[in-house]
Amino acid sequence: MIVEDLAVARGGVPVLEGLSFRLVAGAALILRGPNGVGKTTLLRTLAGLQPALAGRVSVPAESIAYAAHADGLKAVLTVEENLRFWAAIHGTGAVETALEAMDLRGLRGRMAANLSAGQKRRLGLARLLVTGRAIWLLDEPTVSLDAGSVALFGSVVRAHLAAGGAALMATHIDLGLAEAGVLDLSPYRAKAPAAGGRIGQFDEAFG
């Protein structure tokens, strides 16, 4: 994935600009920066959920798996049904390996409504494995995970990287990925229009 001179906006207000980086297969990049700097906005833009204000993002088609704050789980479906649905949508059958990898085997028949917050998160992350996609965009993946689960997820990410995948994650918690690069977003914060920055497009929502 190659990002060149990207500018992103949230609600019509530019938050980041002049951002360029390159993410190659087998590499992980951790986004850092204070709250509100635009980590989520950047990830949503890269996932194709919102248009970039300027710049170019080059990614192979259909290669991005996005994990947001919300896990996209249905409370009245069981763990296995939730996962099978996403596997079917993505046309893969890797449900068993995903259950195994995120330690969810014992919970497969449990309704998602009866899971703890950390278990829900594990299920949400297991979804990444059934997408079969190479580039993972992770938005605070470790929220509500205990230390053991964080380590488990760290090893899942490492296995994904070893298999030729890539990961871009916004996180404040150390996943134990010593090889991951760190990208601090603070220097790319958009300047105010008065200071010569880009003027937000008021009609962005209609563009």
Partner 1 sequence: MGALLSRDLRLAMRAGGGFGLGLAFFLLLAVLVPLGVGPEGGVLGKIAPGILWVGALLSCLLSLDRIFALDFEDGSLDLLATSPMPLEAVVAVKALAHWLVTGLPLTAVAPVLGVLLNLPVEGYGWLVLSLLLGTPALSVIGAFGAALVVGVKRGGLLLSLLVLPLYVPTLIFGAEVVKRGAAGLEVVVPLLLLAGITLGAAALLPFAAAAAIRVNLR
- From the CB of 200, what's the least distance to partner 1, in Å? 13
Contact pick of 121, 122, 127, 189 for partner 1 (by CB under 8 A): 127
Contact pick of 34, 36, 72, 148 for partner 1 (by CB under 8 A): 72
Nearer to partner 1, 31 or 73 (CB): 73
* DSSP state, residue 78: B
DSSP string for residues in 57-75: EE--TT-EEEE-SS----T
117 touches partner 1 by CB under 8 A: no
CB distance 109 to 80 below 8 Å: yes
Q: Which of 117, 124, 112, 184 is nearest to 156 (CA)?
A: 124
206 touches partner 1 by CB under 8 A: yes
90 touches partner 1 by CB under 8 A: yes
Spell out the residues 6+ positions from residue 192 whose beta carbon is closer than 8 angstroms to its own: none
Q: Identify which range of 83-91, 97-105, 163-171, 186-194 contacts partner 1 by CB under 8 A.
A: 83-91
Torsion of CA 185, 190, 63, 164, to 10 degrees: -20
The site that binds partner 1 (CB under 8 A) totals a number of residues, namely 32
Instruction: Determine the number of helices (DSSP H) and then strands (DSSP E) in the chain.
Output: 5, 8
Tokens 């085997």 correspond to 105
Q: Which of residues 28-67 bind partner 1 (CB under 8 A)?
A: 47-51, 62, 64-66
Contact pick of 25, 88, 151, 159 for partner 1 (by CB under 8 A): 88
Q: Which of 35, 64, 6, 71 is nearest to 186 (CA)?
A: 35
Contact pick of 58, 91, 179, 202 for partner 1 (by CB under 8 A): 91
Nearer to partner 1, 68 or 177 (CB): 68
φ and ψ at 22, to 5 degrees? -135, 130
Nearer to partner 1, 32 or 108 (CB): 108
Contact pick of 73, 83, 180, 183 for partner 1 (by CB under 8 A): 73
Q: Which positions lie near partner 1, rule CB under 8 A? A: 47-51, 62, 64-66, 68-77, 81, 84-86, 88-91, 127, 131, 204-206
